[in-house]
Each structure stands twice: as structure tokens, then as C-alpha cells.
Amino acid sequence: MAKLVQVAVAILIRPNGDYLLASRPDGKGWAGWWEFPGGKIETGESPEHALIRESQEELGITPTRIQPWIKRRYDYPATHDAEAKTVLLHFFFVSEWQGELQAREGQQFAWQHPQKLNVSPVLPANAPIMQALSLPSVYAISNVQKMGEHTFLQALRKQLDQGLQLLQIRELQLDESNLSQLSTKVLSLCAPYDCRCLLNSSPEQALQLGYQGVHLNSQRLMTMITKPDNLLTGASCHDAEQLQKAQDLKLDCALLSPVLPTSSHPEASGLGWEKFSEMLNGLEIPIYGLGGMRPEHVSQAQASGARGIAMQRAIWIQP
Ligand SMILES: Nc1nc2c([nH]c(=O)n2[C@H]2C[C@H](O)[C@@H](COP(=O)(O)OP(=O)(O)OP(=O)(O)O)O2)c(=O)[nH]1
Ligand SMILES: [Mg+2]
């Protein structure tokens, strides 16, 4: 059996969202491939400790703000320059550090825009990680029905100014013509910003109304045979079977709900973080927790292996 190697991996993130990749130096297996800085966890060492030690050894910096994220297992085949092995990668976000970056192992550095990678090839185990990083940590869901259109659009503008990047329009109460009118307003408001909009409806209607994406409810998800063409596609999931379906279709993201009790579904008790985390184990597509989420839950969701959180209420309420 191939040996299991535990690895601490540092995703250094700048305030604008760009992250650092480094090339693997000559002399190591998979030389020339791009990876996040990091390295093997020593026997008896905690992943956090390994992360700090490797950052010092490879980059000459000391992380001061660390957020645990996904753990990912991957089987590497034997190659011309490396033996077969199974890695368990412990990914961490590092958003603050002390010291200046230095290439202490002769590696090259490249800061990457999450949606426009300009180096390759990246280590194969990282493919789903890059995919997840191309989406933001917060997914907003519209709430025109409760807030009224005027108040919602005002709150949306505020969130766009603060960097909102992913929005679902979910207004099931609207007839076709009202939905079309609202869509025109929302899409033109979002156009100057770097925010992608998904319509909770059918792929056909999303395309017809000019959305970049569609969000499938769980019923629609289960009837899909392939991922809709030319649309960023998300889906709502409430159980393991639906999550698996979203993954089999290679959707861009999925919501898992309800994580916590929520006023929109008072009858449901919520999965709780432990069960939530268990259900995400082994999934490769980016997942957002939904249900009772507030902005401060992002770190808990990420520590559970999610990309982040989705909010329909708290995001529109200004502190
Ligand atoms: N650092 C890092 N390693 C990764 C990533 N993705 C991925 O599959 N790996 C794999 C490649 C290697 O098999 C393993 C890390 O081992 P490594 O050779 O970098 O370990 P190290 O820095 O401690 O170096 P060494 O001195 O032991 O050679 O994890 C990644 O993004 N960053
Ligand atoms: Mg290394």
C-alpha cells in the first residue's frame, strides 16, 4: 500500500482576494508543478504548527492569522521523479503574516486572481481547491418578498459596494413579467461590479432573462441529466443523495441546509455543525452552508470544509 503523507498547506490571501502559488523546485518530486506553499507534517506535530514551520522554512514569514479549511485525500501514482503515495492535505487560509516573502527554496512565486489562473500545471490534487477558490465565501440570496423591492435594491447596492460577488435571485412569488422587470433592475445594478447573478428557476428562464447562472432547487436538481450549458450552476441540497447528485453533475456549487434553525423554516431543527461537516466529507464541489447563517459564521463553515455561507436575511441587515 502507498504510504500516507500528511501535509499542511498555506493559502496566502491578500486583501483583494489574490492568492499565492509557488513552483516546486528542482530536486523534489513533481518539480516545476505549481502548488501552495507547505509541506509534510512531522510525527507528533499539529497541522497548525507544521503550517507555521513550513511558512518560515519556505517563505521566511510567520503566519499570524490562520483559518483551517478543507482536508483532502489524494492518491498520487508513481512518476519519473516521485514514488506513489497518498496525501492528506490540510488546507489553511493565511490572511496575515509577519515578514517579507522570500523564495527560500529557489521556488518561483505567482500571485493569482481566483478567476484567472495564469500559471500551470497545478498539482492535480489541487484542482477542486482552485475551483472552490474561484467562488467567494459569501453567497447572497435575494429577499424582495420580505423587504420590498426598493429596500432590497438599496441593500444590494450597499453589499455590492462592499464587495459582494455572488447573488441568487429567488423570488418564487413573482409572475413572469414581474420577475423579468426585477431581473432587469438587478442585472443592471450588478453589471459594473464583479458580481455574478444566478436565477432560482429553470436553466431556460435564467438564459432568457440574461443571467450568468442558474440555481436549481433540489427537485429540479434530481431530474437533471447533465449540467446546463453556459451557466454557472448551483443547487439546493438537504441530504447526502442530493449532494452526490450535484457532485456527479459537476455543478459549480451547492447549498446544504438548514445548518442552524431558521425563521424561514421554523419546523426544521437544523443539521448542526458536526453533521454538516460530516456530510461534506469527501465532496469535491464547493458547498455553502445555509439556514440561520450570519456573517460571523464564515469561519465555522470553512472549518467544516465548506466554501462559506449563504444568507437570505442577515446579509441585507446593516449593523
Ligand atoms: N506544499 C504543497 N504540497 C501539496 C499541495 N498539493 C499536493 O498535492 N501536495 C502534495 C505534494 C507532495 O506530495 C506533498 C508535500 O510534500 P513536500 O515535498 O512539499 O514536503 P516538504 O515541503 O515537507 O518537503 P521535503 O523537504 O519533505 O521534500 O503534498 C500543495 O498545494 N502544496
Ligand atoms: Mg513543500
**Where does the pLDDT of residue 182 fall: very low under 50, low under 70, confident under 90, or very high at 90 and above?**
very high
Same domain for 163 and 309: yes
Domains identified in the chain, total number? 2
Question: From ligand 2's centre to the CA of 79, what distance in Å?
Answer: 18
Residues with CB under 5 Å of ion ligand 2 are 39
pLDDT in tens, 58-85: 999 999 999 999 999 999 999 988 899 9
Same domain for 261 and 151: yes
Same domain for 305 and 167: yes
> H/E element holding 208?
helix 203-208
Average pLDDT over residues 39-65: 98
pLDDT in tens, 217-272: 999 999 999 999 999 999 999 999 999 999 999 999 999 999 998 877 777 789 99
Same domain for 308 and 271: yes
pLDDT at 115 over 70: yes
| Residues at CB less than 6 angstroms from ligand 1 | 5, 7, 9, 28, 35-36, 38-40, 54, 74, 87, 89, 123, 125-126
Query: Quick one: pLDDT at residue 2?
Result: 65
Q: Which residue has a Cα nearest atom 16 of ligand 1?
A: 39
Query: Quick one: pLDDT at residue 319?
Result: 67
Question: From ligand 1's centre to the CA of 307, what distance in Å?
Answer: 22
Query: Quick one: pLDDT at residue 1?
Result: 61
198 inside domain? yes
Question: From ligand 1's centre to the CA of 7, what distance in Å?
Answer: 6
* Structural domain ending residue among the three candidates 125, 150, 180: 125
Q: 209 Cβ partners below 8 Å, 6+ apart?
A: 179, 180, 183, 187, 199
The grid coordinates listed for 97 are: 503574516
pLDDT at 100 over 90: yes
* Structural domain ending residue among the three candidates 95, 125, 155: 125
Ligand nearest to the Cα of 40, by number: 1
Query: Quick one: pLDDT at residue 124?
Result: 96
> H/E element holding 242?
helix 240-248
**C-alpha distance from residue 18 to each of 11, 93, 116, 188, 226 (Å):** 10, 12, 10, 26, 32
When mean pLDDT is compared across 76-85, 90-99, 105-114, the lowest value belongs to 76-85
Ligand nearest to the Cα of 90, by number: 1
Same domain for 120 and 143: no
Same domain for 195 and 218: yes
Question: From ligand 2's centre to the CA of 195, what distance in Å?
Answer: 34
pLDDT in tens, 196-217: 999 999 999 999 999 999 999 9
Query: Quick one: pLDDT at residue 81?
Result: 85
Average pLDDT over residues 139-147: 98
Owning domain of residue 11: 3-125
User: In 3D, which of 39, 137, 51, 141 has the Cα closest to residue 92?
Assistant: 51
The grid coordinates listed for 274 are: 458536526
CATH code, 181: 3.20.20.70
Same domain for 279 and 145: yes
Query: Quick one: pLDDT at residue 86?
Result: 96
Interatomic CA distance for residues 153 and 155, integer angstroms: 5
Same domain for 186 and 306: yes
CB 90, CB 4: distance < 8 Å: no
Question: From ligand 2's centre to the CA of 107, what distance in Å?
Answer: 10
Ligand nearest to the Cα of 83, by number: 1
CATH code, 94: 3.90.79.10
133 inside domain? no
Average pLDDT over residues 77-103: 95
Same domain for 147 and 110: no
pLDDT at 50 over 70: yes
Interatomic CA distance for residues 249 and 63, integer angstroms: 37
132 inside domain? no
